[in-house]
């Protein structure tokens, strides 16, 4: 009987939470957690908050919210009506090893490891030496990985 009562209470509380929508709470009370929450509210609120703590737009590229890039994190809370889907097109103008490495970096970690091993024999310092569109490859991958993307060979 106690189990039935507990299960009923859990189901009731779950439906109440679901009906009210999301309530985001910072567990560490950090400025970055607050920034992630404000990003869900609006782009303007996020920009004001980022500026107030001294972050630049380039710093926001590195921002992780619950371990995810900002666009991936926001996609869980915003509907397509309030923020249109963003699609990135990557033009592979050549088939050089560096171009292949940059493209693989945005596709997946596994693809990146395969291309890195194929062309660069697992060279350890490759992340410090390679820039994709003027951005260090690690930052480039963080910004564009897990985004909707298409490739063009023009």
Q: Are residues 51 and 91 in the same domain?
A: no
Torsion of CA 5, 11, 16, 20, to 10 degrees: 160
Domain annotation covers residue 80: no
Helix (H) or strand (E) holding 99: helix 97-107
pTM of the model: 0.45
Position 22 scores a pLDDT of: 65
Q: Considering 52, 75, 98, which residue would you say is the last residue of a domain?
A: 75
Q: Considering 18, 47, 75, which residue would you say is the last residue of a domain?
A: 75
Q: Are residues 69 and 91 in the same domain?
A: no
Domain annotation covers residue 133: yes
Position 150 scores a pLDDT of: 55
Position 108 scores a pLDDT of: 84
- What's the CA gap between 128 and 137, in Å, rounded? 8
Q: Are residues 129 and 93 in the same domain?
A: yes
The domain of 107 spans 87-152
Domain annotation covers residue 110: yes
> Which pLDDT band, with edges at 50, 70 and 90, does 86 fall under?
low
């Amino acid at each position: 009987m106690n189990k039935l009562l507990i299960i009923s209470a859990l189901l009731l509380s779950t439906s109440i939470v679901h009906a009210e929508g999301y309530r985001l709470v910072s567990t560490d009370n950090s400025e970055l957690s607050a920034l992630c929450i404000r990003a869900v509210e609006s782009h303007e609120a996020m920009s004001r908050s980022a500026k107030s703590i001294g972050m630049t737009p380039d710093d926001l590229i590195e921002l992780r919210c619950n371990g995810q890039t900002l666009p991936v994190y926001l996609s869980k809370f915003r509907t397509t009506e309030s923020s249109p889907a963003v699609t990135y097109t990557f033009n592979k103008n050549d088939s050089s090893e560096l171009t292949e490495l940059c493209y693989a970096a945005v596709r997946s970690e596994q693809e990146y490891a395969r291309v890195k091993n194929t062309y660069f024999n697992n060279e350890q310092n490759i992340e410090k030496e390679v820039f994709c569109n003027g951005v260090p490859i690690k930052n480039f991958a963080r910004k564009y990985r897990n985004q909707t993307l298409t490739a063009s060979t023009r």
